[in-house]
Structure 1
């Protein structure tokens, strides 16, 4: 028996729920945070090598492009932490695991990340 089901492969027309978007963003922010550890450790090793190394790291961090990358790293880290706390609260039973509460907690995590991202931008610039 062959089932004739409609197949929609156009990703632009699929309406993804907020919880799915939050889950995808949490994974992406984890990858960005993991990759950023190498960059941040490199900058730390330069800054701790000598006084000249510290000045070189300070010069690198004063560039607008590097500030934007650093802001992106901080935003990814903030979202990953907010999403991780959301998951921990759900795992420990402090947040119910139903669609309405999951949607609301995902929205709260995204809004909190937006506020933290703005604060990080203000601190960097």
Structure 2
């Protein structure tokens, strides 16, 4: 019998194939962190936009640049994915869709729906 090496192992995360449920779950965590980081600037922007019509138009002009529209698209993706994945987890907690085939389908549905919502928001801002 061959002795196992106790030395450090190199894990290439790009070669690991995660199950789709894990991808949806990791996306849920990432989207939660993004939303937490974006909450203060979004709250300040809302406050600023409510001061006057001129402030609102200034903010609208600020976010109309393509690079900022891309940033807002990421925020929309984060909100959509976090909401949909959270609902998925809540439903699975009560036993709905907890079988493997159903869980895979719901994970794909969350990922695709969040991407479609973000793409629709991007098209809305860029046109």
Q: Into which bin does the TM-score normalised by the smaller protein fall?
A: 0.7 to 0.9
Q: Among residues 28, 32, 38, which one is paired with 2:40 in the alignment?
A: 38
**Which residue of structure 2 aligns with residue 92 of structure 1?**
94
1:107 counterpart = 2:108: yes
- On the 8 A contact 2:32/2:78 being kept in 1, the answer is yes
Deviation at 1:53, TM superposition (A): 2.2
* C-alpha distance 51-109 of structure 1, shift in aligned 2 (>3 A): closer
Runs (5+) with no aligned partner, structure 2: none
TM-superposed deviation, 1:26: 0.6
**Length-normalised TM-score, structure 2:** 0.83
Alignment of 1:19-34 (within 5 A): 19-34=21-36
Corresponding residue SS for 2:50: helix
Distance 2:53 2:114 in 1: 35
Q: CA RMSD in A?
A: 2.0
1:52-96 CA distance string (max 9 Å, x none): 322321221222221111111001111111101111111122212
- Residue 28 of structure 2 contacts residue 85 of structure 2 at CA under 8 Å; is this kept in 1? yes
Could you list the runs of 5+ residues in structure 1 that have no partner in the other structure?
none
TM-score under structure 1 normalisation? 0.84
